[in-house]
């Protein structure tokens, strides 16, 4: 059984906090977040694959990818890295289907025990309605499946 995903979205706030622990060293988990060759292997739900990946992990660098399903449906995501450090990444996040709704994400990597890492993400939305739309989109399922795929990658 994989580690649980904790998603907190307090009513009336414009934040989503997601926390998940991994049975892997901090360096390995961090690398999976910043190495484009690894990102494509785990990010998102199982039925979607990543194509057209651009991933320039540095302050001011852009990231962009398209999730595609077997039926040919495509979902574009993109943003800008604002800060990149060994324990924290701050970036913007946008969904191409709803442009102009920019999310600011802070991803914190923390070693909680030897060989065990906690990843905590705070997503700050421009409005509560934007946050609620993200929750209604199935993001929790996609996040959970992506983390399960990351577990598999880290174990291999």
How many whole angstroms separate alpha carbon 34 and alpha carbon 118? 16
The residues near 99 (Cβ < 8 Å, ≥ 6 apart) are: none
Backbone angles phi, psi at 64, to 5 degrees: -160, 140
CATH number for the domain harbouring residue 9 = 3.30.530.20
Strand 15-22 to 116-124 pairing: antiparallel
Would you state the pLDDT for residue 100?
Answer: 87
pTM score, whole prediction:
0.94
pLDDT for residue 1 is more than 80: no
What is the average per-residue pLDDT within 126-151?
A: 93
Looking at the structure of the chain, the number of domains it has is 1
Q: How many CB atoms lie within 10 A of CB 60?
A: 10
Res. 89 pLDDT band, cuts 50 70 90: very high
Containing structural domain, residue 126: 5-155
**108: burial class by Cβ within 10 Å (0-12, 13-18, 19+)?**
middle
Res. 98 pLDDT band, cuts 50 70 90: confident
How many whole angstroms separate alpha carbon 103 and alpha carbon 126? 7
């Amino acid at each position: 059984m994989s580690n649980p995903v904790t998603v907190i979205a307090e009513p009336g706030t414009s934040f989503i906090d997601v926390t998940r622990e991994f049975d892997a060293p901090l360096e390995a988990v961090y690398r999976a977040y910043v190495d484009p060759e690894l990102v494509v292997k785990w990010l998102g739900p199982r039925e979607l694959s990543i194509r057209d990946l651009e991933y320039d992990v540095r302050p001011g660098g852009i990231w962009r990818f398209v999730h595609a399903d077997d039926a040919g449906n495509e979902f574009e995501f993109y943003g800008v890295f604002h800060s990149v450090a060994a324990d924290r990444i701050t970036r913007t996040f946008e969904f191409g289907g709803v442009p102009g709704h920019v999310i600011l994400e802070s991803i914190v990597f923390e070693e909680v025990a030897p060989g065990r890492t906690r990843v905590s993400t705070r997503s700050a939305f421009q409005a509560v309605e934007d946050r609620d739309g993200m929750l209604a989109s199935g993001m929790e399922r996609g996040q959970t499946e992506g983390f399960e795929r990351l577990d598999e990658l880290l174990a291999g």
